[in-house]
Structure 1
Amino acid sequence: MADKLFYELGASPAIHELDHELSGREMESALRGLGCNPSIPAIFIGGRYVGTAKDVISLHVDGSLKQMLKDAKAIWF
């Protein structure tokens, strides 16, 4: 769901499906080590962990997601 929101806002997210990655289990363990709970989906913007899909939708509703994407140079407008 969050990926569709990013596309609608003009961003091209890098998506890593852990169940399709050779090192998916290690990636999931590393996410847990960073405090991502649940570990997936873990959404980062500009290298900063922002939360889960629910958190991203909340950021969009309160109007701050677009600015975060601009600050990360993920969108230009």
Structure 2
Amino acid sequence: MEQFLMVVIKEDGLISIVKGSMVVIVGKRACYMSYVAQRLLEGLKAYPTIYEVSEVFVARMTLIHNLGRILSEDDNTLVAPLFPVVFIGGKLVGGLNRLIAIHVTGELIPMLKAAGAIWF
């Protein structure tokens, strides 16, 4: 999934946004999960760049993702890719569930410090 997502992001020209910002949230327009990710990060004084993708982008990602699963004969559970997607320091963190998990385990703050997003 990670390699697939990075290929799509490079194709759409988002790589410059991801590499040029300390914290980026890529999400669907008016997505409450993107808002939750944003509020969590802002609560830690890390102010993310928000990039909203269109429904066409989401549909294209879903199609490519599911075709890849079918071709690898893993078509038992065809699903849509997860949004929002969070990047810290140019590296893919994952979705909201992963962001919350690393916050709970205490990994998020050191990761934000290493990326230069927070200083305390």
User: After superposition, what is the alpha-carbon deviation per residue over 1:22-67, rounded to whole angstroms, capped at 9, x for unaligned?
Assistant: xx728x74xx78xxx7242111000000100110000000000000
**Structure with the larger strand share:** 2
Please give the root-mean-square deviation of Cα atoms over the aligned residues, in Å: 2.3
Q: Which runs of 5+ in 1 are unaligned?
A: none
Which structure has the bigger radius of gyration? Answer: 2
Correspondent of 1:55 among 91, 95, 98: 98
Give matches, 1:6-45, under 5 Å.
6-19=41-54, 25=57, 29=61, 38-45=81-88
SS of match in other structure, 1:75: coil
Percent identity of paired positions between Structure 1 and Structure 2: 41
Q: Which runs of 5+ in 2 are unaligned?
A: 1-35, 66-79
How many residues in Structure 1 have an aligned counterpart in Structure 2? Answer: 68
- Comparing both chains, which one has the higher relative contact order based on Cα–Cα distances under 8 Å and sequence gaps of 6 or more? 2
TM-score by length of 2: 0.50
> For 1:16 and 1:9, how far apart are their aligned partners in 2?
20
> For 2:106 and 2:49, how far apart are their aligned partners in 1?
22
TM-aligned CA deviation for residue 19 of structure 1 = 2.8
SS of match in other structure, 1:17: strand
Runs of 4+ displaced beyond 3 Å? none
> For 1:38 and 1:47, how far apart are their aligned partners in 2?
19
